[in-house]
Amino acid sequence: MECVFGLVGNGFAIVAADTSAVHSILLHKNNEDKIMVLDSHKLVAASGEPGDRVQFTEYVQKNVSLYKFRNGIPLTTAAAANFTRGELATALRKNPYSVNILMAGYDNESGASLYYIDYIATLHKVDKGAFGYGSYFSLSTMDRHYRSDMSVEEAIELVDKCILEIRSRLVIAPPNFVIKIVDKDGARDYAWRQSVKDVTTAAV
């Protein structure tokens, strides 16, 4: 039931993900951040088995940091995406990771970009992408309203339309979403869309 989607606008990329931590029929919490800041100008939004998702994204994050430490220059978004794809492909025939990734980044030379990487190591540069059951609704909404020259405000409005469609039409829809943006100023949180908050039970 996970929902992860993203798009590229005029000089920026936005990714959004649900924040539900689910196992079987149980919802453990509503504030699980599934979008990792890879470095100062890259974001990784991931869906899949929780253990694989956390372990693999942290592995990629540390290796990207190691490359910068050893060589003195950061990987470009394309290079980081190709590294990620290579690691998934290597693991595919040994102990595969059940994880799907949208990698967003900003480079001074090429601008903003978004890469689609699925669990069988398919890599493709896209203008918009999505994973999970929410993709049935977010992709169709983005197909209808997406433009490559969108401003940040227009892109956020489109993201909110996708979230509304998911909440309205998905039978078991996640209530909360986190939205992050990356542009020339770096990767950062943009907003949380919460309809349900975690309730702490009082001690008896």
Task: Evaluate if pTM is beyond 0.85.
Answer: yes
Q: How many CB atoms lie within 10 A of CB 121?
A: 17
How sure is the predictor about 63, in pLDDT bands with cuts at 50, 70 and 90?
very high
pLDDT at 204: 45
- The average pLDDT across 138-144 equals 94
Phi, psi of 71 (to 5 degrees): -105, -15
Mean pLDDT, residues 101-106 taken together: 96
pLDDT at 198 over 90: no
Q: Chain-wide mean pLDDT for the chain? A: 91
Question: Which residue reads 């470009």 in tokens?
Answer: 76
- Residue range 58-86: mean pLDDT, rounded: 95
Torsion from C-alpha of 56, 60, 63, 68, nearest 10 degrees = -160
Q: Helix, strand or coil for residue 30?
A: coil
Topology at the third CATH level for domain 4-202: Glutamine Phosphoribosylpyrophosphate, subunit 1, domain 1 (3.60.20)
Specify the pLDDT at position 76.
94
Q: Where are the domains of the chain?
A: 4-202
44-58: average pLDDT:
93
Q: How far apart are CA 112 and CA 165, in angstroms?
A: 26
Q: What is the pLDDT of residues 1-32, one digit of tens each?
A: 789 999 999 999 999 999 988 888 888 888 88
What is the C-alpha to C-alpha distance for residues 157 and 191, in angstroms, rounded to an integer?
12
Mean pLDDT of 34-56: 93
- 180-204 in b/e form (b: 16+ CB < 10 A) is bbbbeeebeebeebeeeeeeeeeee
Query: Mean per-residue pLDDT for 189-196?
Result: 84
The stretch 154-164 carries a mean pLDDT of: 95
